Amino acid sequence: MNKKVEELLSTAKLNDILHRQDKEDEKRNKVLWVLAIVGAVAAVAGIAYAVYRFFTPDYLEDFEEDFDDDFDDDFFDDEDETEE
């Protein structure tokens, strides 16, 4: 009878250990799911930003071209001709 009690206690301890591992696995799974969702949202946001930057025109580039057109070297060439 003593052996059966020991077997029952060892089985109960083993069962407790297995249930603890199950609970820890569930916690890990929840954390992994949360991290996966956050990563997916970050990836979608990054892709959306990249697409936005790709399709948005660069207004500064147009401004610089217009600025260069207004102040050509012809202005300075005209000054040189009047001094002669």
Give the domain ranges of the chain.
2-83
pLDDT score at 39: 97
For 31-45, the pLDDT digits (tens) are 999 999 999 999 999
Cα separation of 47 and 41, whole Å? 10
Alpha-carbon distance 22 to 8, whole Å?
21
In this prediction, residue 71 has a pLDDT band, given cuts at 50, 70 and 90, of: low
pTM above 0.75, yes or no: no
The mean pLDDT of 47-69, rounded to a whole number, is 78
Of 34 and 79, more confident: 34
DSSP code at position 3 = H
Task: Give the side-chain half-sphere CA count within 13 A for 45.
Answer: 6
pLDDT of 74 > 60? The answer is no
Cα distance from N-terminal residue to C-terminal residue, the chain: 125
